[in-house]
Amino acid sequence: MSFEVALVQFKPHKGDLDGNLAALRGVFAQLLAGPAPPPQLIVLPEAAMTGYFLEGGVYELSLPADVFAAKLDAQWRAAGGTSPVDIVCGFYENRDGTYHNSALYATLGGAGVRVVHVHRKMFLPTYGVFDEERFLTRGRHLDTFPTPLGAAAILICEDAWHSIMPTIAALKGARLIIIPSASPGRGLAGAGMLESVEHWRATVTLMASEHGVYVLYAGLTGFEGGKGMSGSTCIVSPRGELLASLDELAVAILRAPLDGAEIDLARATLPLLGDLSAVLPDLWYDEALPLPRIEVRDAARR
């Protein structure tokens, strides 16, 4: 079954939520205008409608997930979207006065907007140029959720730099990993590519091939006070092949059909995820691991 996805490498104007939503409406209109049929899933980067570095401005621009989804839905309908479409979009979330760097998976259009899942970023970078935990609270759960391609998980930016995150997502059934990101580009010594982008490419291709998952990486672009968001949006197959990509600075749409059968074939050819499932209990219940120990049931030790 083919699942058509479109990743939007977006360049927001800092803090201009309404202006950025209007620009997104233009993107929706382009996707609806054809000639290709509209995608089934649209993926936007982290903090796509506000820009990433907000500092204290985060408290002025955060929204509840359902309110943010309704704003996305209004743009889809204003662009002429009558049929349902799924969307992933990063945003700053106000959850009853607790603030998160979040990304939602929602269905827009059709009978009404529906928030399927909200992932709250778990690894908040707070070092060097980053200061997220000064303003935000980290998420506590990594969950999967249903999509037409099967179970999926969202990892926001640094979430994906910890290899245990896609590993756990895959163990929980994810066949698709979606990464909204806002990554300030750095390191000019690479051959034609920023060193930070080289790191990302290695990360996403390895996670895809190790677990037999599609990876959709949507990167923010544009400069924010001298810090250039490094774009480099890409789609990686379950075999770890880079199917399509954008450069750092393009403002563009990346499209591809995903095929669930490719996931099955990749996992049959390289059954690392199955192997991990078998060995995991021996690794996990190692007393030397720095994990809190609660009662271990005999059944889990089998």
Partner 1 sequence: MLPVVEAPLHRIDAALAIDAPLTERWLVAFLRDELIERRRISKAVLGLSGGIDSAVVAYLCARALGPENVHAIRLPYRTSSPDSLRDAQRVVDALGINVDTIEITAAVEGYLQAAGDADPRRRGNVMARMRMLVLFDQSARLGALPIGTGNKTERLMGYFTWHADDTPPVNPIGDLYKTQVWALARHLGVPAELIDKPPSADLEANQTDESDLGVTYLTADRILAQILSGYRDEQIAAVGFDPREIALVRRRVEGTHWKRHLPTTALVSGTAINEFYLRPVDY
| DSSP class of 35 | S
Q: Are 216 and 177 in contact (CB under 8 A)?
A: yes
Instruction: State yes or no: residue 54 binds partner 1 (CB under 8 A).
Output: yes
Closest to partner 1 by CB, 71 vs 227, is 227
Q: Write down the least CB distance from residue 59 to partner 1, Å.
A: 10
- First-residue to last-residue Cα distance in the chain: 36
Closest to partner 1 by CB, 226 vs 292, is 226
Alpha carbons within 13 A on the beta-carbon side of 158: 16
How many Å apart are CA 259 and CA 4, to the nearest integer? 9
Q: Helices H, strands E: what count in the chain?
A: 8, 14
Instruction: State yes or no: residue 235 binds partner 1 (CB under 8 A).
Output: no
Q: Are 168 and 213 in contact (CB under 8 A)?
A: no
111, 188, 289, 299: which one contacts partner 1 (CB under 8 A)?
Answer: 188
Q: Are 235 and 245 in contact (CB under 8 A)?
A: yes
Binding mask 11-50 for partner 1 (x = CB under 8 A): --xxx-----------------------------------
4, 57, 262, 272: which one contacts partner 1 (CB under 8 A)?
Answer: 57
How many Å apart are CA 114 and CA 76, to the nearest integer? 13
Q: Write down the least CB distance from residue 14 to partner 1, Å.
A: 5
Instruction: State yes or no: residue 219 binds partner 1 (CB under 8 A).
Output: no
Task: Provide the 10 A C-beta neighbour count for residue 240.
Answer: 19
| DSSP class of 296 | P
Closest to partner 1 by CB, 15 vs 148, is 15
Q: Write down the least CB distance from residue 185 to partner 1, Å.
A: 7
Q: Which strands make up the sheet holding 214-219, listed edge to edge?
A: 145-147, 150-154, 176-181, 214-219, 234-236, 242-245
The site for partner 1, by CB under 8 A, has a size of: 25
3, 28, 53, 91: which one contacts partner 1 (CB under 8 A)?
Answer: 53
Instruction: State yes or no: residue 271 binds partner 1 (CB under 8 A).
Output: no
Strands 242-245 and 221-224 turn out to be unpaired
Instruction: State yes or no: residue 292 binds partner 1 (CB under 8 A).
Output: no
Q: Write down the least CB distance from residue 225 to partner 1, Å.
A: 4
| DSSP class of 184 | B
| Choices 62-70, 76-84, 155-163, 185-193; region in contact with partner 1 by CB under 8 A | 185-193
How many Å apart are CA 209 and CA 205, to the nearest integer? 6
20, 208, 248, 263: which one contacts partner 1 (CB under 8 A)?
Answer: 248
| Choices 73-81, 137-145, 183-191, 234-242; region in contact with partner 1 by CB under 8 A | 183-191
Q: Name the site residues for partner 1 (rule: CB under 8 A).
A: 13-15, 51, 53-57, 185, 188-194, 222-226, 228, 248-249
